Each structure stands twice: as structure tokens, then as C-alpha cells.
Amino acid sequence: MIEVERLTKRYGPATAVEDVSFACRPGTVTGFLGPNGAGKSTTMRMICGLTPASSGTATVLGVPFRSLPNPGRHVGVLLDASAQHAGRTGRETLALTAQLLGVPSARADQMLETVGLAGKAAGRRVGNYSLGMRQRLGIAQALVGDPSVLILDEPANGLDPEGIYWMRTLLRGFADRGGTVLLSSHLLHEVEAVADTLVVIAGGRVVANGTKSELLAPSGRTLVRALDPAALYTAVVSANLTVIRREPPTSDGLGEGLVVEAPAEAVGRAAAASGVALTELRQAGGGGLEELFLTLTGRPAAPAAPRPPAPAGPSVPQEALR
């Protein structure tokens, strides 16, 4: 369980995070989303006790992170995979973590196997790892203590499509066994596939917070396109309808579109009254999480990675890591 209440962080006159509140419950994956500079990493660092809050509170398992006895046994954290010691091997890194947390050394080898770094990869120095391999090692390090909570900032960064699918399966399984996951990522398709709850932050403030089904439910907005986009815009505005945003032309030749805050019937009548020929008229909302993100933040997210075929199991062949 993670609970954040009115969390605020100021740096002099600048406010990085303002009045942020949300909760992550056992058995769920919470997707924590927002454009670059929105305050996601700052919020996660405050939850983990690495950055002091200006005001508000953040608790993990009912207490501030710093009050947890041997916190790695309760909370697995991955905020920056590049922060690992470059001179140690993967096995040495996890063996040292196991020793510090007071868990059997065999746990290190178990986690190397789980994340696909067993064998030769375990004996390589971390400085020679690819970004994806360092991410895998960071996830393994977060899991060594057998925690009940995971806090992960961009864990899919550097993973190939098969690795992303593996990570999604791992996180879903962790939550289904009763664990709590807070996941920050720019890969919206992957978040949509694994998350139960979504928290969207923009400009340091929460702009959406709810279950995936609630936030991605069909809206009362309409997507409309016409042969003459300029005439369409004039017709919609003249009918006192609100244009939320413009949509780019489609790959199959349909021109620029508009997302309008009105039912399809009202938009169609406005176009007909001005003699505008439409090429598309439908309820907006088919864009899923990406459309929600664009609507709330006004910025595009990182492109989704290609969807890979489902592997036979959670382990990944060593050659896929290189």
C-alpha cells in the first residue's frame, strides 16, 4: 500500500510538485503518467525518502519509507538503472544486495535467472551491460528482498519488445499475488496493457486519477473530419461548439480532424448547416490511453514499442539480451 497526501515540493520560487494525492492498493498496478518535467520522478523520490517534501505526506505500508526496518525487504525500488557500480559483475551486485538485506545468497542466483541474466551475463561487469541489461539487473535488485511493494521509474527503458512483454508479465504476476506496483513509464501501450489504476500528472499537479475502466470509458466527445478542414472548423465554432484539439491527417488519406466537446449529432448538424461534406464522424475515445494522455497534458508520449509475440514463459533467451 502506498498513500500520498497533498505532497508538494518547492525549489525556491519554483514548484515542481503541488498538492499531489493518490493511493496504490495491494493487488494492483498503478500507472503513473505524465510528460517530461511533469513531476513524476520528483514525486517518486519523495515517496522513497530521497527528496524531502516541502509539505504533505507519503507512506508505504502505513509508515514513511525511512521508518521501514530494512526497507529493501518490504519495498523494491528502481529509479535509475545507470546508478549501479560499473566495476562489479551482475552476480556480485545481487550477492552484495542479498547480504545487505539479510536474505540467503541463493536468492541472487534465483533473481538472475528470473530476469534472464543467468550464465555468462551474470559474470560480465555491469559497465559492459547494455541499457536493457542494466534495467533487468535493476529489476532483479528490486526483487532480491522479496518485497510486497515495487516502485519503478521507467523500467522498460532500453528493453527490446520481447523484454517489454516479459516485464509486463512479471509485474502483472507480482500484483496478482497481492503485491503493490507503482509504475512510471512513457510507453503508454504497455501501461494500458498492465495497469489497473491510472494517475496522470501535468505541471506538477494530478489531472486524472481513477481506475483504467473509469478513465478510458467512452466520452461525450466527437471526432470529425471533412474534405475542407478549415470550413469544418468555422462551422463547428459558429455553432458554439468547443474544439478540444486538432487531430493529424490519417495514413489512409483522411485530412486533419477535430475533437469536439459535443455529441456526434450536434456536430453533424453544424456541418450540414454550413454545407460541409464530412469524411468521418464518430465518438471520440477509440485512442485509449494515448488519447486520454493527449487530452489531459496536450503533449504526445513516446511512441509505443512494436508488440512482440508472446514467449512460452517468463525467461528470456540470453541472445535476446545482446
What DSSP string runs through 209-227?
EEEHHHHTS--S-EEEEES
pLDDT in tens, 120-154: 998 999 999 999 899 999 999 999 999 999 999 98
pLDDT surpassing 90 at residue 29:
yes
**3-class DSSP assignment, residue 56:** strand
Average per-residue pLDDT for the chain: 86
What's the pLDDT score for residue 318?
39
pLDDT surpassing 60 at residue 316:
no
pLDDT in tens, 226-247: 999 999 999 999 999 999 888 8
pLDDT in tens, 201-221: 988 999 889 988 777 766 678
- Average of per-residue pLDDT across 165-184: 94
What's the pLDDT score for residue 320?
36
What's the pLDDT score for residue 317?
37
Spatial strand order of the sheet with 197-202 comes to 75-78, 149-153, 180-184, 28-33, 197-202, 205-211
Integer Cα distance of 223 and 202 in angstroms: 24
- Given a contact cutoff of 8 angstroms between Cβ atoms, the answer to whether 33 and 44 are in contact is no
What's the pLDDT score for residue 286?
53
Q: Do domains 2-211 and 222-284 have the same CATH topology?
A: no
- Given a contact cutoff of 8 angstroms between Cβ atoms, the answer to whether 102 and 70 are in contact is yes
Q: Taking the domains of the chain in order of start, what are their residue ranges? A: 2-211, 222-284
CATH superfamily of 2-211: P-loop containing nucleotide triphosphate hydrolases (3.40.50.300)
222-284: CATH topology is Alpha-Beta Plaits (3.30.70)
**Residue whose C-alpha is closest to residue 296's, from 223, 225, 211, 199:** 199
